[in-house]
Amino acid sequence: MTAVGQALPRKEDARLLHGEGRYVDNLAATGMVHAYIVRSPYAHAVVKSVDLSEALGAPGVVAAFTGADLADAWPGGLPCFWPVSDDIAMVKHMPLATDKVRFAGDGVAVVVAESRAAAKDAAELVAVDYEPLPAVTDLEAALADGAPLLHDDAPGNRAYTWSLVTGEPDKVFSDAAVTVKERYRQQRLIPSAMEPRGALCEVNAVGDVTIWTATQGPHIMRTAYTLVLGIPEAKVRVIAPDVGGGFGSKLDVYAEDVIVITLAKKLGRPVKWTEERSEGNRATIHGRDMIQEIELAATAEGKLTGVRVRLTAAMGAYLQAVTPGVPLLGAWLYAGCYAVDAYDFHCTGVFTNTTPTDAYRGAGRPEATYAIERAVDALARKVGKSPVEIRKLNFIDSFPADIASGLQIDSGDYHLALDKGLEVLGYDELRAEQARRRAAGDTKQLGIGFSTYVEMCGLAPSRILGALRYGAGGWESISIKVLPTGTVQVLSGTTPHGQGHATTFSQIVADRLGVDVADVEFLSGDTAVVPTGMDTYGSRSLPVGGVALYHASEKVVEKARQIAAHQLEVSADDLEYETGRFSVKGSPDKGMHVKEAAFVAWSAHNLPDGMEPGLEASFIYDPPNFSWPAGCHVAVVEVDTETGDVKLDRYVAVDDVGTVINPMIVDGQVHGGIAQGIAQALWEEAVYDEDGNLLTGSLLDYLVPSAAELPSFELDRTVTPSPTNPLGVKGVGETGTIASTPAVVNAVIDALEPLGVTDIDMPTSPERVWRAIEEAKG
């Protein structure tokens, strides 16, 4: 039996469940001091002066610095790796502000003390003289004439404009028998990983920097710290120990990491910083915050011909690592899984006095999916078709498919996934029940909402990323070392922070090399142990890193074959190979296991002439295409038409992620993703007041759901293996989030359609739903 395809329990869990996990805040170093950041309470203000004198005299304080004191350490400020266009305003982003603060939470000074409590107490004694300026937090208000200006070098608060046009959209729209035009608001979200961010940095006597940081990207961080601080890469070691979730938010080059490195160098003592939850809600990146205008052109019976999108996307106050690129990650997907002739996408990036945005689970793709899936329902209403009929009429159904936005989808079967969704759901009975309640004028109306999504992940072909001006490559690196006793070490460039790589990668290599999953040692997240990698984001670890692992395993097998042939005194061509064992064709008793070959390779007493000792191989894989998971998600809601309360009754998800390595881990990924997407539809929203104060700064008012708020998800799968990689796999880490939000909102609208409600902003809180019902009454 192969290990791939088995729902094996996660290897990493025993350690975590026995309390052996080590997160940054569990770590200590001899002589360690603690940093606390003084943050602006104003969303927009001139920093007139910063007086540290009282703080410096407080008990336990070791040092304190203003932004100006440290500015020489980081002359270029924090990096943005994705300058998407010629017109982009690459505004300067200093780790600690010197002249002006631009969001509530922007750092202005740092206090270092013997304990965290002492640093925090002393930080309150830092006297900052601010001259408050008018602030703007709303996207469209920021673009209006006379809006407060955040950056002198970004006139009109415009960060950039970016377009993608194919076919003849103007003609298609003027020829269209039917058009629909919708406007949606993607509210701002706070990623809320379970473990807040943190960093601990130690610099030794010869200037070698070691930083333990809660990051998804130790390799990218090492390069970034070098670029920001001018310390040679060889002198920087980045360690991501256990990391408790990230959802994209731990992929950034954060001010605090750069600050602790700078302080540790300056003070000659290890420095630690740990984020508080309410601090993180302001200082760690946010997601979404876009206004979407989407227009569909179609024939009279609802066959789509064109899509036009005008997207306005909040950058927040500065450009973080990939902030400008987030809308682009969805730019190809605004026609979803539907065939169109013409495509017209235009995006404007905008600065506002808010926490910077960046990649949050799905990054650009949940937004695109939301827009097209809601707009397709609007089209269905207009042409008098059901949500199922309109989808079936428009599905792309031949693969590989060159889509209108210019990329190629490798494989899929969208009809199959939808049919399976309907079957699991018991669709006809549900519609009958809905009709019954409608006829009875029931105050609990039933709604059924669909989201048939396709997404592009597995980032990505380096050439395409380069053409889009992304700063890094999209390849991934893996090394395998077979130890003399047969233990297989996998040195992975991807770094898990909850995704179970240790288990799934072990399953892949176990099958290729014929060893037990337990005999695989998975190493990652330390640039001194695994020097090369491109890290974990964009659901890339399996479709890029896992495929690199497959190829590296093949190299190991080929070397082992040469060793076995030499030992058995036969030609390599005369050997057959099956799960770990070579046998001589025609004499199956005569053979050798990969493990035995490893010992021979290690002792090196009798290797073929010229062969390097050791059984190991490396592979760097650059995929030829993105990965294109797809599927059908359906939400069933009950809406109380008197109170506006929405109850999520059922949730069905049929996903196609190609070959599945570990069904339990895939289900877990889908579960978590769905929960996050549902949360956007129903509960979560980062709200600022007009002055730029974050009103939802704690978990008391930012409504992250727990399992108790969610129904038991009904999961199923279809499998169309990806033809672009030998494992046939597609990514899964973001599918649930990408698919689920529109399914839920479509369900709410479906429930209220007879009452004349066709749109409700997210989150569809009881108040919003109730108001929509009242407004529809006229």
Q: Of residues 542-571, which lie at the interface with ligand MCN (CB under 6 A)? A: 542-543, 546
Does 657 interact with ligand MCN (rule: CB under 6 A)?
A: yes
- Nearer of residues 360 and 688 to ligand MCN, judged by Cβ: 360
Measure the CA–CA gap between 200 and 224, rounded to whole angstroms: 17
Does 246 interact with ligand MCN (rule: CB under 6 A)?
A: yes
Q: Note the maximum CA span of the chain.
A: 89
- Cross-strand pairs, 482: 488, 615
How crowded is residue 31: how many other Cβ atoms within 10 Å of its Cβ? 12
Measure the CA–CA gap between 552 and 501, rounded to whole angstroms: 16
- Among the residue ranges 111-119, 240-248, 615-623, 707-715, the one whose residues contact ligand MCN (CB under 6 A): 240-248
Does 325 interact with ligand MCN (rule: CB under 6 A)?
A: no
- Among the residue ranges 107-115, 221-229, 239-247, 703-711, the one whose residues contact ligand MCN (CB under 6 A): 239-247
Which residues lie closer than 8 Å to 729 by C-beta, 6 or more apart? 542, 543, 546, 547, 627, 657, 658, 659, 660, 661, 721, 722
Does 317 interact with ligand MCN (rule: CB under 6 A)?
A: no
Query: Dihedral sign, CA of 652, 655, 660, 666?
Result: negative
CB 239 within 8 A of CB 210: yes
C-alpha dihedral over 121, 123, 125, 126, to 10 degrees? 180
Q: Which one of 104, 660, 678, 749 is in contact with ligand MCN (CB under 6 A)? A: 660
The contact pattern for ligand MCN, residues 170-199, with x = CB under 6 A and - = no contact, is -----------------------x------
Does 217 interact with ligand MCN (rule: CB under 6 A)?
A: no
- Among the residue ranges 32-40, 533-541, 567-575, 646-654, the one whose residues contact ligand MCN (CB under 6 A): 533-541
Return the ∠ at Cα 120 (arms to 115 and 123), rounded to 5°: 125
What DSSP string describes 686-735?
--B-TT--BTT-STTTS----GGGSPPPEEEE-----TTSTT-B---TTH
From its phi and psi, is residue 541 left (phi > 0), alpha (psi between -120 and 50) or beta? alpha
Count of residues in the chain: 778
Does 752 interact with ligand MCN (rule: CB under 6 A)?
A: no
Q: Do strands 401-402 and 575-578 pair parallel, antiparallel, or not at all (unpaired)?
A: unpaired
State the number of binding residues for ligand MCN (CB under 6 A).
Answer: 37
In Å, how far from its chain's centre is CA 420? 28
3-state secondary structure of 578: strand
- Nearer of residues 5 and 766 to ligand MCN, judged by Cβ: 5
Q: Of residues 667-696, which lie at the interface with ligand MCN (CB under 6 A)? A: 669, 672
Q: Which one of 733, 748, 762, 772 is in contact with ligand MCN (CB under 6 A)? A: 733
Cα distances (angstroms) measured from residue 161 to each of 141, 329, 592: 17, 15, 61
Q: Report the candidate in 156, 97, 101, 108 with the shortest Cα–Cα distance to residue 131.
A: 101
* Rounded least distance, CB 501 to ligand MCN, Å: 5
* Rounded least distance, CB 133 to ligand MCN, Å: 35
* Rounded least distance, CB 502 to ligand MCN, Å: 9
* Rounded least distance, CB 244 to ligand MCN, Å: 8
Does 284 interact with ligand MCN (rule: CB under 6 A)?
A: no
Which residues lie closer than 8 Å to 775 by C-beta, 6 or more apart? none
- Among the residue ranges 61-69, 510-518, 526-534, 663-671, the one whose residues contact ligand MCN (CB under 6 A): 663-671
- Nearer of residues 308 and 365 to ligand MCN, judged by Cβ: 365
* Rounded least distance, CB 719 to ligand MCN, Å: 9
Bond from prior residue into 754 cis (ω within 30 degrees of 0): no
Does 661 interact with ligand MCN (rule: CB under 6 A)?
A: yes
* Rounded least distance, CB 753 to ligand MCN, Å: 33
**What does DSSP assign to residue 349?**
E
CB 527 within 8 A of CB 239: yes
Helix ranges (H only) for 462-618 are 462-467, 501-513, 547-568, 594-603
Q: Report the candidate in 361, 286, 425 with the shortest Cα–Cα distance to residue 674.
A: 361
Q: Which one of 23, 184, 247, 318 is in contact with ligand MCN (CB under 6 A)? A: 247
* Rounded least distance, CB 667 to ligand MCN, Å: 10
The contact pattern for ligand MCN, residues 487-526, with x = CB under 6 A and - = no contact, is ----------xxxxx--x----------------------
3-state secondary structure of 644: coil
Does 330 interact with ligand MCN (rule: CB under 6 A)?
A: no
* Rounded least distance, CB 736 to ligand MCN, Å: 9
Does 306 interact with ligand MCN (rule: CB under 6 A)?
A: no
**What does DSSP assign to residue 544?**
I
- Nearer of residues 95 and 629 to ligand MCN, judged by Cβ: 629
Q: Report the candidate in 304, 316, 437 with the shortest Cα–Cα distance to residue 378.
A: 304
* Rounded least distance, CB 247 to ligand MCN, Å: 4
Does 324 interact with ligand MCN (rule: CB under 6 A)?
A: no
* Rounded least distance, CB 5 to ligand MCN, Å: 9
- Among the residue ranges 154-162, 310-318, 732-740, 757-765, the one whose residues contact ligand MCN (CB under 6 A): 732-740
* Rounded least distance, CB 354 to ligand MCN, Å: 21
* Rounded least distance, CB 406 to ligand MCN, Å: 23
How crowded is residue 697: how many other Cβ atoms within 10 Å of its Cβ? 21
Does 369 interact with ligand MCN (rule: CB under 6 A)?
A: no
Does 365 interact with ligand MCN (rule: CB under 6 A)?
A: no
Q: Which one of 25, 182, 195, 734 is in contact with ligand MCN (CB under 6 A)? A: 734
* Rounded least distance, CB 59 to ligand MCN, Å: 38
The token pair at 51 is 């007086």
CB 59 within 8 A of CB 101: no
Measure the CA–CA gap between 741 and 352, rounded to whole angstroms: 25
User: Cα-flanking dihedrals φ and ψ of residue 635, to 5°?
Assistant: -110, 140
* Rounded least distance, CB 452 to ligand MCN, Å: 19
- Nearer of residues 210 and 499 to ligand MCN, judged by Cβ: 499
Q: Which one of 658, 692, 697, 742 is in contact with ligand MCN (CB under 6 A)? A: 658
* Rounded least distance, CB 58 to ligand MCN, Å: 37
Does 125 interact with ligand MCN (rule: CB under 6 A)?
A: no
Q: Which one of 539, 625, 720, 765 is in contact with ligand MCN (CB under 6 A)? A: 539
Q: Which one of 354, 541, 720, 764 is in contact with ligand MCN (CB under 6 A)? A: 541
Give the binding site for ligand MCN (CB under 6 A).
Answer: 193, 245-248, 361, 497-501, 504, 536-543, 546, 657-662, 665-666, 669, 672, 729-734
